Amino acid sequence: MERQFIPVNIALLTISDTRTIEDDTSGKVLKERAQASGHHVTEQTIVRDDKYAIRAQLSQWIADDDIQTIITTGGTGLTGRDGTPEAAEVLFDKTIVGFGELFRQISYDTIRTSTVQSRAIAGVANGTFIFCLPGSSGACKTGWDDILKDQLDVRHRPCNFVELMPRLLEQ
């Protein structure tokens, strides 16, 4: 029996010291792809590349029962200002280790060994799934098209994240 699609409420967070909503190409890519897949982008904002500012915004959304998924873009590199993994990891109740591994494996086909510079990560906090992608629009396309599109679709077999969302809060 075919399952019915279940739209997910998604919050999008761009981490950047220079971008605005008008020129945030990566945020636009994620929003367009999420909406084209039938999901609801309920929140979208930009915060500076500061782990406390990132953590504050993530925490606000994690506490919001109406948001099931957060996708961040930016701040996953190796420069001194890149702090997204450090901001997010401490909030995770569980880490989705395979997400970063799979992202880098898929990225290898396009950017070859440069993929080792990506610190893409994912986890679950208070039942909210959080995916931290690099800041390039290409990386966002890869993350959505090759991983998130299927994993945020309850019809994807053999398993997906959507079917896990209600169970995470059961004890």
Task: Domains for the chain: give ranges and CATH numbers.
Answer: 9-169 (3.40.980.10)
Secondary structure (3-state) at 82: coil
CA 136, 117, 52, 25: dihedral to nearest 10 degrees?
0
Residue-level pLDDT at 171? 37
Residue-level pLDDT at 159? 93
> Tokens 């109406």 belong to which residue?
66
Confidence of residue 114 (pLDDT cuts 50, 70, 90): confident
**Residue 2 predicted with pLDDT over 90:** no
**Residue 25 predicted with pLDDT over 90:** yes
At 55-104, the pLDDT tens digits run 999 999 999 999 999 999 998 877 778 899 999 999 999 999 999 999 99
List the structure tokens of 140. 């966002």
Looking at per-residue pLDDT, the higher value among 19 and 111 belongs to: 19
Residue-level pLDDT at 168? 46
Confidence of residue 113 (pLDDT cuts 50, 70, 90): confident
Q: What is the mean pLDDT of residues 144-160?
A: 96
Residue-level pLDDT at 140? 96
Secondary structure (3-state) at 83: coil
**Residue 18 predicted with pLDDT over 60:** yes
Residue 17: count other Cβ atoms within 10 Å of its Cβ: 12
Strand partners, 73: 14, 133
Confidence of residue 167 (pLDDT cuts 50, 70, 90): low
